[in-house]
Structure 1
Amino acid sequence: MDLKSTQSGDIQVVKVNEARIDAAVAIQFKDAMRAETEGGAKRVVLDLGEVAFVDSSGLGAIVAAMKQLGADQKLDLAGLTPSVDKVFRLTRMDTVFAIYPSLDAAMLTEAS
């Protein structure tokens, strides 16, 4: 699982450099997210701009990544492609995560 993490002020950005988050990589994604965000920033923005497909296992892995964050950390999502955005809306996960149309939009918004 190819993730790239950068720090911008008090925001950690984790970019997923994969086309899919599905059953084949869900466990790797979850483990990689844990490694990237452990003891990290209070706000983590997951950049999904390169991800074209998420299945139920991938969705579960993203939720698990949110749950494994520390109590004072928050996971936001940015740059969802139309098909990935549709999965989040159909499953009502858009009510669980703050979702931004782009990484720039997410960076302009202060953590709540």
Structure 2
Amino acid sequence: MTGAEDVHGDGVVEDSYAAGPGWVVAARGELDQDTLASLEEALNSAADRHRLVILDATSITFGDSSFLNLLLRLHRLTALRIAAPGEQLRRLFALTGADTVLSLYPSVEDALGS
């Protein structure tokens, strides 16, 4: 890991690092109310220090309503961009209308370049 390491042991925060004008937090696995604590801490910490926060969602396999609520709360605190969401996340965002509120990008590079 090149940045703030996941100290909670649930392993959902894969990496966290400065990139271009913002801060990237890479998460993995299934994100629900039981596994969300370390990601919430990492994203809130990044939002406190950076105007642009990118969630690298490449390795996220599942997200539930508590994950979605976290993203919507964070969206109000900072410029949040979601990079490379998989099919399940895109479906969640589309079904809830969150895709009209959240900024979704095909890759971290695209999110940084916008």
TM-score for both structures, normalised by structure 1? 0.79
Q: What letter matches 1:94 in structure 2?
A: D
Paired position in structure 2 for 1:7: 18
Contact 1:29 1:61 in 2 (8 A): no
Contact 1:27 1:61 in 2 (8 A): no
Structure 1 runs of 4+ with >3 Å offset: none
2: distance between equivalents of 1:7 and 1:32?
13
Given candidates 102, 106, 111, the residue that maps to 2:111 is: 106
- 1:28-84 C-alpha deviation (Å, 9 max, x unpaired): 4322311233222x22111111101001111112222223x2xxx311111001111
1: distance between equivalents of 2:39 and 2:53?
15
Paired position in structure 2 for 1:86: 91
2: distance between equivalents of 1:9 and 1:86?
29
Q: Name the count of aligned residue pairs.
A: 103
Q: Would you tell me which structure has more strand in proportion to its own residues?
A: 2
Point out which structure has higher relative CO (alpha carbons under 8 A, 6+ apart): 1
C-alpha RMSD of the superposition: 1.7
After TM superposition, the structure 1 = structure 2 runs for residues 1-112 of structure 1, keeping only pairs within 5 Å, are 1-16=12-27, 18-40=28-50, 42-67=51-76, 69=77, 73-109=78-114
